[in-house]
Amino acid sequence: METAAFETDLSLFKYDNLEQLPPEYRDLEADERTERIESALTELGDDVVILGHNYQREEIVEHADFIGDSYQLSKEAAQSDADYVIFGGVTFMAESADIITDDDQSVILPSMEASCPMAGMAEALQVDAAWAELTAALDDDEEIIPITYMNSYADLKAFCAEQGGLVCTSSNAHKAFEYAFEKGDKVLFLPDKHLGENTAHRLDMADETVEWDPWDAEGTDAAEAVENDVILWEGYCQVHERFREHHIEDIRAEYPDANVIVHPECRREVVEAADVAGSTSTICESVAEADPGETWAIGTEIHLTHHLQRWHPDVNVVPLCGDACMDCNAMRQIDPNYLAWVLEELVEGRERNVIEVAPEEKELAQVAMDRMLEI
């Protein structure tokens, strides 16, 4: 999809969906909302911890006890004694928090509309069908190991555990590949094809990859697919997929001395054109360690870029393309009005939007995540 076409589609996005809120919460003024949130937090005290993902807007992270990437935040929740974990993120993140927190902790997602499109690109029925085709096409002495990116639903994490696979983050995907090739002969990587391709390049396996498109009935034949060592699921992040090489060219023309850093969920050609590719943690660390006056162009979700601009005013932090290009619609569903609502409901003793992973799924997903920790 070309940039111009994408920009036209932006008008269709729901940036602020308040329809699911009780009417009295839909038109809260900013000052009143902040006062009510802070009042509820004071009353709840240590019973609640708020997690703010790096991609959340300022009005959410200003109330967060911890700010970071998804798995880091889940670990913070697990280490806390809070009864209630409010996750300012998307559904799969809240699921991950539920997997690793204690059973007596409740994980709450302020808005159930916050569902990551990439995670939805690898649903259980599709994966089961693909797995049946691919494994049937293998030679008798061959084995394929599935790896799922952390940005996936709990049932996919559980599936990977059942099939001898594991979970990975953008930081340790290369180690997950190495683990898989020690255990088997081939890798099925889900759901982010760009992270998978960039990892294959890192391991000098660029010529051994193929894409598997579950929506294309006449796509890659299973027998042809398993001739390759790395099978990449046709999924992607709708934010990082938007970046193009010309965005980097435009930035270099405007800021000749700029350091360009992008997330490894970006297209291969964008990663190649950048100076650095790394996780949100790497992006944050790079800017934090920059010398005053340096320019860093950020190729990831716009709210992290805005946070870095505020947190490091002595560094010239610029977005790699415009605000609309870099905005995550799923993250935007965590409107601060929803935060006010779920907190005031807790004050009244009512738990709203609790995310619970089924016990068997939770146990298996934990196995897949434990294997990641082993590497």
Neighbouring CB atoms inside 10 A of 256's CB total 8
CA distances from 175 to 167, 179, 203, 254 (A): 11, 6, 10, 37
Neighbouring CB atoms inside 10 A of 258's CB total 19
Q: Confirm if 18 and 293 have CB atoms less than 8 A apart.
A: no
Instruction: Enumerate the H helices of the chain as residue ranges.
Output: 3-9, 30-44, 58-61, 70-79, 91-100, 124-137, 154-162, 173-183, 193-202, 222-225, 245-254, 268-273, 280-288, 302-311, 329-332, 336-347, 359-374
Q: Which two tokens stand for residue 283?
A: 């992006």
CA distances from 213 to 124, 163, 191, 193, 218 (A): 14, 20, 11, 10, 9
Q: Say how far apart CA 56 and CA 219 lie, in whole Å.
A: 37
Looking at residue 20, its pLDDT comes to 81
Report the Cα–Cα distance between both ends of the chain, in Å, rounded: 36
Q: Which two tokens stand for residue 235?
A: 């999924």
Name which of 269, 255, 265 is nearest 299 in CA terms. 265
Tens place of pLDDT for every residue, the chain, 375 residues?
333 333 334 333 444 567 789 899 999 999 999 999 999 999 999 999 999 999 999 999 999 999 999 999 999 999 999 999 999 999 999 999 999 999 999 999 999 999 999 999 999 899 999 999 999 999 999 999 999 999 999 999 999 999 999 999 999 999 999 999 999 999 999 999 999 999 999 999 999 999 999 988 677 799 999 999 999 999 999 999 999 999 999 999 999 999 999 999 999 999 999 999 999 999 999 999 999 999 999 999 999 999 999 999 999 999 999 888 899 999 999 999 999 999 999 999 999 999 999 999 999 999 999 999 998
Name which of 253, 241, 256 is nearest 299 in CA terms. 241
Q: Say how far apart CA 122 and CA 50 lie, in whole Å.
A: 28
Rounded (to 5) percent helix, strand, coil in the chain: 50, 15, 40
Per-position DSSP letters for 205-220, written without gaps between them: -GGGEEEE-TT-TTS-
**Letter for the amino acid at 51?**
L
Radius of gyration for the chain, computed over Cα atoms and rounded to the nearest angstrom = 21
Q: Say how far apart CA 145 and CA 132 lie, in whole Å.
A: 13
**What pairing do the DSSP bridges indicate for beta strands 144-149 and 166-168?**
parallel
Q: Confirm if 278 and 264 have CB atoms less than 8 A apart.
A: yes
Q: Say how far apart CA 210 and CA 238 lie, in whole Å.
A: 21
- Please tell me whether residue 162 adopts helix, strand or coil conformation: helix
Looking at residue 367, its pLDDT comes to 97
